[in-house]
Structure 1
Amino acid sequence: MANSPLNLQAVYTAPDTTKVFTHEIPAASSTDSFAAKQSHLATLQSLIPKLQEGINVFLTERMEEDKKAQGAISEKEAREEENYGEEVVEEDA
């Protein structure tokens, strides 16, 4: 492996925008040894959640912008969003 830096990268593409998420992976001094390979993989493993977090923040912002552009949301959508991630048992009236 060359000693130049590598990038962990994800690209979001939509009709109206493209966003590139990049994290630099420091170049390993040598990948010949098991310890160097292990260190390189550990670095990569630590960067993946950071990349995911950046993507999630961006997509959440996009969703909020889309909601504002669409105007008010329905009562059902408001309840669903309020209870997102929670199990809700609706009672029969």
Structure 2
Amino acid sequence: MANNDLTLKAVYAAPDSSKTLSHAIAVDTSKDSFAAKQSHLTILQALVPQLQEEINVFLTERMEEDKKAQGAVSEKEAREEENYGEEVVEEDA
């Protein structure tokens, strides 16, 4: 039984950090071509959603870190962001 390893990989790169998420995929080259392809696709169908979930978790963590690093947003900035693209009429108190 001959095996080759392939890797399903996602790479995140930013100016301040990078991260690689990967999963090894064993490929059995002793099987006939159709069976090998079918096995490979079955493995990919299982690994792709798993990798997507890992990416989502990582990016969510990064977003939370970025929010903490930015500090608290002022009330005015929060309102401006909330109403971005909309015409807002200021009421006199």
The TM-score with structure 1 as length reference comes to 0.70
Q: Distance between the aligned counterparts of 2:80 and 2:63, measured in 1?
A: 17
Structure 1 unaligned segments of length 5 or more: list them. Answer: 80-93
TM-score, structure 2 normalization: 0.70
| Secondary structure of the corresponding residue to residue 34 of structure 1 | helix
- Structure 1 distance, partners of 2:80, 2:60, is 20
Relative to total residues, which structure has the larger strand share, 1 or 2? 2
Which residue of structure 2 lines up, in the alignment, with residue 57 of structure 1? 57
Kindly provide the CA deviation profile for residues 6-29 of structure 1, in whole angstroms up to 9, marking residues without a partner as x: 110111000000100100101224
* CA RMSD in angstroms, aligned pairs only: 2.0
Question: d(CA) in 1 for partners of 2:31 and 2:52?
Answer: 26
1:72 Cα offset (Å): 2.1
Counterparts in 2 of 1:76 and 1:9: CA distance versus 1, 3 Å? same
> Could you tell me how far apart the structure 1 residues matched to 2:30 and 2:37 are?
8
Look up the match of 2:32.
32
**Max radius of gyration: which structure?**
2
